[in-house]
Structure 1
Amino acid sequence: MEMATGNGSKELVLATMAMVAVEFSLVLSTILLKAASLKQMSFFIFTAYCYILGSFVFFLLASFFKRKTVLPPSKFPLFSRIFLLALLGFSAQMLVCKALEISSPTLASANNNLMPAFTFILAVFFRMEKVAFRNSSTQAKIIGTIASIFGAFVIVFYKGPKVISSFSSLSSLSSSPSSDLLQRPSNWIIGGFLLTIATLLTSFLYIIQSQIMKIYPEEITVNFFYNLFGTIISLPICLLAEPNLSSWKLTSTLAVVAVFYSGLLGLSFTSLTHMWGVRLKGPVFVASFKPIQIVIALVMSAIFFGEAVFLGRY
């Protein structure tokens, strides 16, 4: 019994470390995407390349680990859910990309405060979470849900005072091209609205991931089909949005780094770890780490870009 408890503790520590690492990876990916977009890289092209590279990564992983894809007898429930997963993922990615275009990576990270709330509500609705009001765990989740919703609304709608001034040692960035990343967005509220819808779709995505893991608990194979379906969905749409094939050439170093980091490491690592976490601890556990992103984003923006920190929006 003690050994089982010890294994459970190690599993929880490992899962926690993995989730925190994922949030760091996502913040960096978001910052790179925003920076590359300022160099005229299309979000449509970025998304299509990420799905293509993701398919390649998971095909290699499946081949390397010599996975035997023993599919369940009834394949439709599995593949229909993976296709829905890819559709939700693509839709959420498009909304995030558009929101980044008119707002900032800090807002994108801050809006993730809503994800634990949305995921918990959906998990209760789909009977994945039991609500016992006298249970301390349920009480903590309800308080966390209310706090996360309140925090997200403060960030989007409240124009608060400056909490930390920009670092004077990095003030030289204000005259550099990279300082465009720090320009105050003019469509903060619209960006927040788009990000809220994307967050809701991502919460649905976690719920569906949980269902898929019960049917077929093979993260690498599922992620291969997820990225393959994502490629099938995104490529025609992205080609219609960007019909000029010359624009698909990655001309800037920043665009190449953003695409290869996100496609080969950032988003692939994220989807694999999230699916593993959902199978291990459930969708609410995975979503509960999302608020860490705002802390990481603020620290990175303050240290590396000299950005001032405000209470609420700019």
Structure 2
Amino acid sequence: MGNKILAFVGMVVAVLIQTAGQVVSKIAMNGGINTYILILYSYALSSLLLLPFITFLLYRSEAPPLNFPSICRFFLLSLFGSAGTVLAYVGLDLSSPTLAAALLNLIPAFTFVLALIFRMEVVHFKEYSSQAKVLGTIVSISGAFVVILYKGPPIFKNHSSVSPYKQFLSLAQSNWVLGGFYLATESLFASLWYIYQASVMKSYPSVMVVVFFQILFSTILSAIFALIVVKDQSEWVLRLDMGLVCIIYEAVADMVIRVSLCAWCVQKAGPLFCSMFKPVGIVFTVIMGALFLGDDFHLGSLGGSIIIVLGFYAVMWGKAKEERKVEASFEDSESSSCHTAPLLQNKT
């Protein structure tokens, strides 16, 4: 139970970090920094920050020994992660943080379907726990789209002057259809990452080593991609602007802290539990939009947030009930074996 509470807190923090990063990244990209350079420098800085810690960890032999199959698993995991990162940034550049946060809500549905395919989750439609998981997933995703599609009258009206960030964000033209396609595809890769992360953590249960090699391989892959795509040499030069702030934030908060939190939470609570926190991101987006971008808070935002929370707790209730059932059956089997063991010994 203690691990589940820590996983709950960890995933809330991880989603908050990711949502804030979307706003910061959008401002930086509208400021002129190249998307692929932003990704590369963020990954590279993350690798450098983790290198001393991982070297010490491996030197002290506090992690399992590395072998070729483990390295291959790390590389495949980084392939899913880096592909999703590129798609997320490109989609964000073409659209907005609000659309990006909304389409993150496809991740629980994708993860639930993939978990069923790989037999990591079981659905018995006659049981209330399974019905709660299925309906809760649908409800929470629906609530997220209520926030986007239904605005409604303002509940809290921001009377302050228009934020300079809001003016800055409105300068760039958005291609919502293409951006939405990229973001939806990124949700699929994120779901694959959650599913495969659970498998990797079972074979190599050292969170920080897995995270380091994932980021290291992602740095190499993004460097190759950037060298092919980015032709203008001036775009490789860093300046003292919002782009540099974004790189530091993404490297420290998003790629080191958030990825480590997600990997640890997947290890402790499973991929479906962690993916179900994505709908909460739209709540954070609405709040940060009102606080930092000068957006008003509308009835649709309040109603959609309530629906998200209801769906979220329905899934958590279903998962908790299934776990209690498994624990009860395990205790019954142990007690029955304790009762039968003396009888077998007496007969011998």
| Both structures adopt the same fold (TM-score exceeding 0.5) | yes
CA change 1:132–1:262 in 2 (3 A) is: same
Aligned match for 1:35, one of 27, 36, 45:
27
Q: Confirm or deny: 8 A CA contact 1:114 1:199 kept in the other structure.
A: yes
Q: Which residue of 2 aligns with 1:308?
A: 296
Q: Does the alignment pair 1:120 with 2:112?
A: yes
| 1:257 match | 245
Letter in 2 for 1:70: P
Q: State yes or no: 1:188 paired with 2:182.
A: no
Post-superposition Cα deviations, 1:144-166, rounded to whole Å, max 9, x if no partner, equal 2323454566667x4x4444378
Q: What letter is aligned with 2:198?
A: S
Answer with 185-194 or 216-225: which moved more.
185-194
After the TM superposition, which parts of structure 1 deviate over 6 Å for at least 4 consecutive aligned residues? none
Question: 2:158·2:296 contact (CA, 8 Å) conserved in 1?
Answer: no
Residue type of the alignment partner of 1:13: I
1:227-238 matches, within 5 Å, as: 227-238=215-226
1:61 corresponds in structure 2 to: 53
In the alignment, the residues of structure 2 paired with residue 273 and residue 85 of structure 1 have an alpha-carbon distance, to the nearest angstrom, of 16
Contact 2:88 2:183 in 1 (8 A): yes
Counterpart in the other structure of 1:3: none
Corresponding residue for residue 121 of structure 2: 129
Q: Is the 8 A contact 1:26 1:270 kept in 2?
A: yes
Cα distance, 1:64 vs structure 2: 4.8
Q: TM-score, normalised to structure 2's length?
A: 0.79
Partners of 1:166 and 1:253 lie apart in 2 by: 33
- Residue deviations 1:32-74 (CA, integer Å, cap 9, x gap): 11000011011100110111112122222224555524336xx
**SS in structure 2 at match of 1:250:** coil
Code of the residue aligned with 2:186 in structure 1: it is: A
Q: Does structure 2 conserve the Cα–Cα contact (< 8 Å) formed by 1:35 and 1:181? A: yes
2:159 to 169, 172, 175: 169
How has the CA–CA distance of structure 1 residues 139 and 185 changed in structure 2, closer, same or farther, with 3 Å as cutoff?
Answer: farther
What's the offset of the Cα at 1:204? 0.4
Residues 185 and 20 (structure 1), Cα distance of their counterparts in 2 relative to 1, 3 Å cut: farther
Which residue does 2:285 correspond to in 1? Answer: 297
Q: Which residue of 2 aligns with 1:70?
A: 64
Residue 275 of structure 2 corresponds to residue 287 of structure 1: yes
Q: Separation in 2 of the partners of 1:301 and 1:177?
A: 10
Confirm whether residue 243 of structure 1 aligns to residue 231 of structure 2.
Answer: yes
Q: Is the CA contact 1:58–1:221 (under 8 Å) kept in the aligned structure 2?
A: no
Q: Deviations over 1:153-205 (max 9, x none)?
A: 6667x4x44443784432332xx365222569642233222211100110001
Hey, what's the Cα distance between the residues in 2 that align with 1:88 and 1:272?
16
Equivalents in 2 of 1:306, 1:111: separation in Å?
A: 22
CA contact (8 A) 2:27 2:165 kept: no
1:209 aligns with 2:194: no
Amino acid at match of 1:243: K
Work out whether residues 87 and 182 of structure 2, in 8 Å CA contact, stay in contact via their aligned partners in 1.
yes
Q: 1:63 to 1:186 in 2, by over 3 A?
A: closer
Which residue number corresponds to residue 95 of structure 1?
Answer: 87
Correspondent of 1:267 among 255, 258, 269: 255
Structure 2: distance between partners of 1:229 and 1:192: 27
Give distance in 2, aligned partners of 1:236 and 1:97.
17
Counterpart-to-counterpart distance in 1, 2:244 and 2:235: 13
Which whole-Å CA distance do the structure 2 matches of 1:155 and 1:189 have between them? 18
Distance in structure 2 (CA, Å) of the matches to 1:121 and 1:265: 29
Go from structure 1 to structure 2 and tell me whether the alpha carbon gap of 1:15 and 1:177 turns closer, same or farther (over 3 Å shift): closer
Whether contact under 8 Å (1:114, 1:152) holds in the other structure is no
Distance in 1 separating the partners of 2:173 and 2:260: 33
In structure 2, the residue matched to 1:21 is 13
- Percent identity between the aligned chains? 35
1:143 aligns with 2:135: yes
SS in 2 for 1:131: coil
Which one of the candidate residues 91, 95, 102 is aligned to 1:110? 102
Contact 1:116 1:148 in 2 (8 A): no
Contact 1:170–1:305 (CA<8 Å) still a contact in 2?
Answer: no
